[in-house]
Amino acid sequence: MLYFDKYAGPGEKTVVILHGLFGSAKNFASLAEGLSDLATVYAYDARNHGRSEHRATHSLEDITDDLENFLSAEAIEHPILLGHSMGGLTAMNFARRHSRGARALVILDIAPRSYAPGHENEIAALSIDVSAALNRQEIDAAMSRYLSDPVVRQFLQMNLMRTEAGVFRWMNNVAAIASSPGRTVFPEYNPPLSPVPVLAIRGLLSDYVRDRDVELMRAAFPALEMHDFADAGHWLHYTHRSEVTGLVRGFLQGLSKHLH
């Protein structure tokens, strides 16, 4: 089962938010609230993340299957899929499977291609035994051995929870994620992937979407609207929340009312 939050809004548009690796639905709570006057918004925790169930595998095909099952279970047709990083790969893989299945896509700092699994430092930080930690400062100090950027550490610490006994633990199933290199393997395809409107936003301090990737995206999505944030890195929805919300709002307002 996938745990999700629903933000009720007007019925003519439905947005489904797909978080990135080591993220969760709550990372997008303020963005979802900022869109809920324009659309009904769903945000769910992917398998092995947040409050959703832990599974043994975590390939891109697995999590795209999960998206399809979620849409079916909630009777959502022609959603606007908004995905960051892993979530963006999921949204684009859905478009590969169903060219006109989504009404539109919003893709945050990722391109329709395969990536090296990477994230070794994040995985190491999230593998720290935090059960004996007295406070978050102690955990942050331990994480700093692997991650020098405090913004990244703060983002990852959103995966911390306390048990009823007050003991810290990580919500992620890091072992399954680490053992699933297929999480970043994007299947081969013949462009275009989909003719639907696509808003893509990249951070120029991130190397996830390079200039040649923009050309790849233009071939994949003929109706592409591309925006660059010069001072943003990969977690731009976290560091540039209001700017991202503004762009997405404008994109939603510009969508025609008929379904594709």
Same domain, 132 and 84: no
The overall average pLDDT reported for the chain is: 95
What pLDDT does residue 169 have?
Answer: 96
Same domain, 46 and 91: yes
Cα 173 from chain centroid?
Answer: 17
Residue 166 lies in a domain: yes
pLDDT band at 251 (very low <50, low <70, confident <90, very high): very high
Question: In terms of pTM, does the model score above 0.85?
Answer: yes
All residues at 6 or more sequence positions from 65 whose CB lies less than 8 Å from its CB, including other chains: none
Same domain, 162 and 110: no
What domain range is 157 assigned to?
120-173
Task: Give the strand pairing for 198-203 and 224-229.
Answer: parallel
Tell whether the model's pLDDT for residue 260 goes beyond 60. no
Residue 55 lies in a domain: yes
Same domain, 155 and 187: no
Mean pLDDT of 4-11: 93
Tell whether the model's pLDDT for residue 168 goes beyond 90. yes
Domain boundary among 153, 173, 193: 173
Per residue in 62-108, pLDDT (tens digit) is: 999 999 999 999 999 999 999 999 999 999 999 999 999 999 999 99
Structure token digits, residue 245? 């919300």
Whether the CB-CB separation of 90 and 62 falls below 8 Å is answered with no
Query: Number of folded domains in the chain?
Result: 2
Same domain, 124 and 68: no
Residue 17 lies in a domain: yes
pLDDT band at 256 (very low <50, low <70, confident <90, very high): low
Task: Give the strand pairing for 104-108 and 14-18.
Answer: unpaired
Same domain, 77 and 185: yes
Tell whether the model's pLDDT for residue 148 goes beyond 80. yes
- Alpha-carbon torsion angle 154, 159, 162, 168, nearest 10: -70
| CA–CA distance, 13 with 87 (Å, rounded to integer) | 19
Domain boundary among 129, 150, 173: 173
Same domain, 23 and 90: yes
Domain boundary among 137, 155, 173: 173
